[in-house]
Amino acid sequence: MAAPQGPHSAPPHHNGRVLLVDVDRAARQTARDALVAGGYDVVEVDDGARALALLRQGFVLLPPSAAAAPIQGPHGGNTTLRPAVAGASDIDVIILAWSLPGLSGGELLARLRGDGDERPVIVTAEHASAEDTATMLSLGADDVILKPVNQRMLLARVTAQLRRRRAPSLTPGEVLDGRYRLQQSLGEGRVGVVWRARHVELDVTVDVAVVGSRGSEALRHEARRTAGICHPGFLRMRDIVRLDTTRHLAVADALPTTTVKRLIDQGAITPDRAFAITTSVLDVVVALHQAGVAHKNISANSVFVDDSGGQDRVVVVDGATLRLISTSRKRVGISAYTPPEATAAGAGKDADVYAVGRLLCHLLTGKAETLPAHPVARALDVALARTPGERCSARALLRAVAIAGKSRRKATRTR
């Protein structure tokens, strides 16, 4: 294994997201340098209560705290811990210091396991006798490392924990659960392997993700939350199957391969297409809100477009499903789509309106933060209000966007 690179070296790719929970800034910096050099995304928290709030919420903005004090980097100069947006189900591995102020590492670990959270937890401790280590493991720790932590050792332990979650090799033609015949590997996602498959009884094409048992809890929660949504533009989980003691199978309708983010980057979005895509997304959001469900993860990465039929078919994907079915290793969300009120209380329907407003800005201008020079900007001002209560509803924004798009098409035809 190559030696960890410096903190300014760009990681080769995104291998997963690690949550560091430690009050010791120097220990966090050491761990962070090793993980970033190894291609991992890192979220840092300085106490157990804040970590528990993050892990129990679907969408959390970590505000500055004592942990935001300047840290002396190994190459000189200070770095500052910045507020970080993270979803609870985005975290792949937790590195937890045993000694924490307030809510201790042991208490945090016990609560997580009591909640059914099965993600790998690596405990770090200054001292640990055989009895102490046994206690940590009995509470649900997957591994224990003594401080000061060796960077190579930490990176190897994190990689090993994620490797254990990977599914064994599969082959085309193999039938899983007696129903899903594998056709083509689509690639490796963040927590498993994704395949295009065929339901042998119904003769329909589906996407399946074979994931380790530790990656299934957030999936089951999200699947239950959206099980009642029956909208053609919303991709919901169709089946969750326990294959064996270590593997689960997540099944969804075949997902288009092109995201709106990719289309924007390619410059393939005309204004008329931008309004049409946004109208389709809002139609899904209205259906979700009518069912009492907030999406919480709308962005140009969670909206897919299939134009193979000559007309765009827009598919909105919830965050948990996207992390499994999509083979992208990048973050699901985009920071500009995060509403100002996304705190430990979580994000709700008002946040969805804000995110769709940013989506339309992104489609029309190429930048989510930039308002377009178009009459629809008046409606966007309301959708993007800093105070949630001042925003319009998704239905009202849908009407405004539909009218703006229709007016534009009419003006174009009369020129």
Strand order in the sheet with 258-259: 234-235, 313-317, 303-306, 258-259
Structure token digits, residue 269: 């979005």
Q: Position 164: which residue type?
A: R
More confident: 400 or 62: 400
* pLDDT at residue 32, rounded to an integer: 93
Using alpha carbons, select from 271, 231, 267 the residue that is nearest to residue 406: 271
Structure token digits, residue 23: 């009050």
* pLDDT at residue 124, rounded to an integer: 95
- Which of 55-64, 181-190, 308-317 has the highest average model confidence (pLDDT)? 308-317
Residues 212, 167 contacting (CB under 8 angstroms): yes
3-state class (DSSP) for residue 208: strand
Share of the chain above pLDDT 90, in %: 41
Alpha helices, H only, 150-229 = 151-163, 217-226
Residue 411 has pLDDT above 80, yes or no: no
**pLDDT tens, 120-163?**
899 999 988 888 888 888 788 889 999 999 999 999 999 888 77
Structure token digits, residue 95: 């590195």
Using alpha carbons, select from 43, 179, 65 the residue that is nearest to residue 119: 43
Domains and CATH numbers, the chain: 16-163 (3.40.50.2300), 175-253 (3.30.200.20), 258-414 (1.10.510.10)
pLDDT band at 174 (very low <50, low <70, confident <90, very high): very high
Q: How far apart are CA 255 and CA 258, in angstroms?
A: 9
3-state helix, strand, coil in the chain (%, to 5): 40, 20, 40
Q: How far apart are CA 35 and CA 224, in angstroms?
A: 33
Annotate 7-32 with b (16+ C-beta within 10 A) or e (fewer): eeeeeeeebbbbbbbbbbbebbbbbb
Q: How far apart are CA 96 and CA 193, in angstroms?
A: 28
Q: How far apart are CA 31 and CA 70, in angstroms?
A: 16
With a CB cutoff of 8 Å and minimum separation 6, the contacts of 215 are 119, 165, 191, 192, 248, 324
Residue 117 has pLDDT above 80, yes or no: no
Q: Per-residue DSSP letters for 78-124? A: EE-PPPEEE-GGG--EEEEES--SSS-HHHHHHHHHHTT--S-EEEE
First to last CA, the chain: 64
| Averaged pLDDT for residues 13-26 | 84
Q: How far apart are CA 23 and CA 46, in angstroms?
A: 4
With a CB cutoff of 8 Å and minimum separation 6, the contacts of 310 are none
Structure token digits, residue 250: 């997540």
| Averaged pLDDT for residues 28-52 | 90
Average pLDDT score, the chain = 80
**pLDDT tens, 233-282?**
999 888 888 887 667 888 999 989 899 999 999 998 999 999 999 999 99
* pLDDT at residue 172, rounded to an integer: 93
Residue that the structure tokens 């892990």 belong to: 55
CA distances from 19 to 122, 149, 178 (A): 10, 16, 37
Element (H, E) at 7: none
Structure token digits, residue 245: 């003691």
Residues 56, 298 contacting (CB under 8 angstroms): no
Residue 290 has pLDDT above 90, yes or no: yes
Dihedral pair phi/psi, residue 254, rounded to 5°: -60, 125
* pLDDT at residue 165, rounded to an integer: 60
- Which of 159-173, 307-321, 354-368 has the highest average model confidence (pLDDT)? 354-368
